[in-house]
Amino acid sequence: MSNNGIPTPRQTYTLKYSKESIIEKLKYIALEMPTYKYISYNEDLNTLRIEITRSFQPQHLDFRFDETISNDETKFEVEVSKHTGGMTDDDSSLHAKKNLEEIMDFLIKCLKGYLISEEDKKAATKGQIGNMIFVAVVFVAVVWWIGSGIYW
């Protein structure tokens, strides 16, 4: 039996901001953006989890904080995984990389004082609706194909 799993995307960052500032902004992003959901922060394990619901399969963004280098510099790793477990295909990996890039772009901007706008929220919602429509069309096509009795 072969395992077709692929490694979950992960990236390590060092930012010139305190851990508290980074956690505060990540929570802000997750609470403001309609495609993100704040899941938890575990102080003992030094981890924060956010779920991103934009694509067909929700993904988790797990932030693992190392010891703070100084009061104004923090090192952490972000790992992206599917809601149901590891990555299994290139498409999942592609979405994971996009999700990682997007949250880090928002994090950097928000740490510099950016406030999430209604336009940001609308763009995220529009992308989410587009994905749901695509899934619905594929589902209807599959049901129609099965119901039509055409077998190869």
Per the listing, tokens 């695509």 go with 134
Q: What is the dihedral of CA 41, 37, 131, 143, to 10 degrees?
A: 90
Q: What tens digit of pLDDT does each residue of 71-111 get?
A: 789 999 999 988 665 555 666 777 888 889 999 999 999 99
Residues 6+ apart with CB under 8 A from 21: 111
Contact 63, 75 (CB under 8 A): no
Tokens of 124: 């995220």
- The pLDDT of 112-131, averaged and rounded, is 82
Question: Residues of the chain with pLDDT > 90: what percent?
Answer: 52
| CA-only gyration radius of the chain, Å | 18
d(CA 77, CA 74): 10
